[in-house]
Amino acid sequence: MTTDAIQTSLVTAADSDPFRYGWRFVLRPTPDNPHHLEQVPLTLEDVLHPEVGDFIVHNDRHETDRIYLTEVLRACLESSGVAIVLTDVRIAWDIPDLRAHGPDVMVIPGIPERQNWSTFDVAVEGVRPALVIEITSPETRENDLERKVEHYAQAGVAQYVIIDDMGGRNRERRLRLLDYRLADGRYVAHPMGADGRVHLVIAGLWLGVEGDHVVCYDAQGMAIGDYVTVVRQAAEAAERARRAEARARQEAERARQEAAARAEAEARLRALEAELRRLRGEEE
């Protein structure tokens, strides 16, 4: 079978699956059940403007990158109170005729702590994201690459970064980064750094691609590991600190004992000298 034939068969198989984008449950009463819920497939438009409760299909690597970015940005921004980081939370805008979106990751300054939002309402909260990151999937990437570029600029999001999976053979990922900055109400494509990385302005971090996944780098250019790696490194650092503290305690105790022994020896010496002087005085 030729490559074109294989691709055609894959497209045909995808098109034959009505639930390839995801689904939602809609109340459709029946004579026997007034509370009957029907599983309804999502359209590409539904994925662009999701409703609360929609299940949108993502592949495993998409989720791995999304979780990694969320954890890194939260560690960087939330502990210092700079911003909160939300993932897969629906956002309702305060712009007439601009319907809600469901960004993969968004960074929102001006909020002291996260709440249990299912929808973040910009009009209610009074702030909007300073950064949105979308990770494309082959089936829905046109939403991220085209329509959201217009929508997020209209919503006033200062920086919009796209991690674009351009696809490859045998489901391999080929990633590129796109960086849009808001200027006069429109997005302008911002050039990559010399190393091909994107500066996440609000976080002071850099985002790059290594192989088939994304990596964040700190201001010194050091790669930040994923959540599991960070936890392991933190545990190893804590263990090293514990051992160093134990050694310091042992050395301090040894020094204390040595000082006590010296003090005792000096006291004995002084006592002997005093006794010697006493004896010599009696002889004289």
Residues 155, 75, single domain; the answer is: yes
Residues 206 and 243 in one domain: no
Same domain membership, residue 238 and residue 199:
no
16 lies in which domain range?
1-41
Same domain, 123 and 256: no
CB 194 within 8 A of CB 201: no
How far, in Å, CA of 281 to CA of 211, rounded? 91
Same-domain status, 84 and 184: yes
Q: What do you get for the CA distance between the two ends of the chain, in Å? A: 122
171 plus 138 within the same structural domain = yes
Q: What is the dihedral of CA 11, 13, 17, 19, to 10 degrees?
A: -60
Note the residue count of the chain.
284
Alpha helices of the chain — where are they, by DSSP H? 3-15, 44-48, 60-77, 122-125, 141-142, 148-155, 227-283
pTM for the model: 0.74
User: Residue 77 falls within a domain, yes or no?
Assistant: yes
The residue out of 209, 225, 241 marking a domain boundary is 225
Distance CA 200, CA 159 (A): 8
Q: Which of 178, 198, 225 is the last residue of a domain?
A: 225
Give the angle subtended at the CA of 140 by the CAs of 134 and 144, to the nearest 5°: 35
Same-domain status, 155 and 79: yes
DSSP state of 104: S
Q: What is the pLDDT along the chain (284 residues), one digit of tens a residue?
A: 444 443 444 444 456 889 999 998 999 999 999 999 999 999 999 999 999 998 988 888 899 999 999 999 999 999 889 999 999 999 999 999 999 999 999 999 999 889 999 999 999 999 999 999 999 998 899 999 999 999 999 999 999 999 999 886 777 888 999 999 999 999 999 998 888 999 999 999 999 999 889 999 999 999 998 655 655 666 676 677 778 878 888 888 888 888 888 888 888 888 888 877 877 775 54
